[in-house]
Chain A
Amino acid sequence: MPAISMTVNGEKVCGDVEGRTLLVDFIRGNLGKTGTHVGCDTSQCGACVVHVDGKAIKSCTALAVACDGVTVNTVEGLAKNGTLHPMQEAFREHHGLQCGFCTPGMIMAGIDIVKRKGKKLKEETIREELEGNICRCTGYHNIVKAIQAGAAKM
């Protein structure tokens, strides 16, 4: 089994994986970081979104072995010293979640949008950029509001 190592939320980690081990399974199974979710089998829902070398990707559609040496950020790495990240805080403030299943992916996607499009986001832009993140509860309105508010505070 190939041995891999990577930096996850600032921490060096390593492990043995099979070729077929998905990045999300490595993060959840090997590292016990279960904040990253799996919501589908078809690469469509975005519950599994993490940042790899600074870019949002679907960790259910990446091989862990191919991520040897990369830097990964997951939702667990956002809060600092017990203080929520502005994007997390905005989701709380604006009631951007109901069951919360899609939320880690939404938050990681939201931060990625800010990285690419800046802090002043139009509603239209956010809706388009959330194409790869599905929520079955909220109807999206409050998620969009939360991302807009969180972006402004980042």
Chain B
Amino acid sequence: MYEFEYHRPKKLADAVKLIKSKKEGKLMAGGMTLIPTMKQRLAAPTDVIDLSGLGNSGVNVSKTKVTIKAGTTHAEVASSSDLKKAAPALAALAGMIGDPHVRHKGTIGGSVANADPAADYPAALLALNAKVVTDSRTIEADKFFKGLFETALRTNEIIKQVEFEIPARSAYSKFPNPASRYAMVGVFVADFGKKGVRVGVTGAKGSAYREKAMEKALTADFSADAIAKVKIKADDMNEDIHASAEYRAHLVGVMAKRAIAAAG
């Protein structure tokens, strides 16, 4: 790892000021992606601004809405008793990320900002029609995930929290890569009653996306049978040593059906 200068501001405003004043500053949350990347010298910031001093963590559930602060760890999301009642699928998703040690450090803000094509949260954010709130604006999930490790965040923009309306029911089904535990394919299904059903898919393409043909079918009839005829094209699916594009396309259907069954 190349040497850098370390900073740990206590206030968001100071973090914003710091990151803007540095030549090649990098924000750090749990460090679970950033530190391995720096160890491999794929990132070499001049300054690291550690956000863990902000105390910006916690899950807040109101009657209709869930707010999760950016610094909330996967372990905290997984074990939040309020969230388990309001949106158990999201708590379960957080409990499936990596391993216990990674979940003790990794945060929702870091995961969302990183936008790994195989990360779990992006599927949930899309399906839950979530909003990503930053230090300067609010971005809808639909406009947030732009491509491979690419988001709508501007340089030096800091995520404050993620929020969404509580769905009537939801579920997440993931086919984990047996070695890394990242999603080969993960499908998050959220039913918002009259407002329709939304389906977020991760692991399958360069970026998480919504499977709109499934959404249409499920809004009319929320059952595994309803999507039996939805064709998932393999054209732009990821292909690697773990799975072919055709296999991933097939998995999207299977994971969606499992999620629908689990949502009940």
Contact = CB atoms under 8 A, between A and B. Distances in A.
Interface of A: 2, 18-20, 22, 41-44, 46, 49, 55-58, 61-63, 65-66, 109, 112-113, 116, 129, 131-133
Contacts of A46: 99, 101
Contact of B35 (A43, A49, A109, A113): A43
B5 interface: yes
Given A109-B100, A113-B100, A62 B105 contact: yes
B237 interface: no
A129 to B, nearest CB: 6
Contacts, number: 74
Interface string B113-143: 0000000000000000000000000000000
Nearest to A130: B99
Contacts of B216: none
A132 to B, nearest CB: 3
Interface residues of B, number: 28
Contacts of B180: 44
B24 to A, nearest CB: 14
Contacts of A18: 3
Nearest to B98: A132
29 contacts: A19-B3, A19-B48, A20-B4, A20-B38, A22-B1, A41-B40, A42-B36, A43-B32, A43-B35, A44-B180, A46-B101, A49-B101, A55-B75, A56-B101, A56-B104, A57-B101, A57-B105, A61-B31, A61-B36, A62-B31, A62-B35, A63-B48, A63-B50, A66-B6, A112-B100, A131-B99, A131-B181, A132-B99, A132-B101
B99 A19 contact: no
A66 B8 contact: yes
A63 B49 CA distance: 12
7 closest pairs, A vs B, by CB? A132-B99, A131-B99, A19-B6, A20-B1, A55-B104, A132-B101, A61-B35
Contacts of A49: 101
B102 interface: yes
B39 interface: yes
Interface of B: 1-6, 8, 28, 31-32, 35-36, 38-40, 48, 50, 52, 75, 98-102, 104-105, 180-181
A2 B4 CA distance: 12
Given A56-B100, A57-B104, A131-B100, A63 B35 contact: yes
A41 B1 CA distance: 11
B101 A109 contact: yes
A51 B102 CA distance: 13
Given A19-B6, A20-B4, A61-B105, A132 B100 contact: yes
Residue from the set A20, A41, A42, A61 with the largest chain B CB neighbour count within 10 Å: A61
Contact of B3 (A20, A56, A61): A20
A19 B4 contact: yes
Nearest to A50: B101
Contact of A66 (B1, B52, B99, B181): B52
Contacts of A41: 36, 39-40
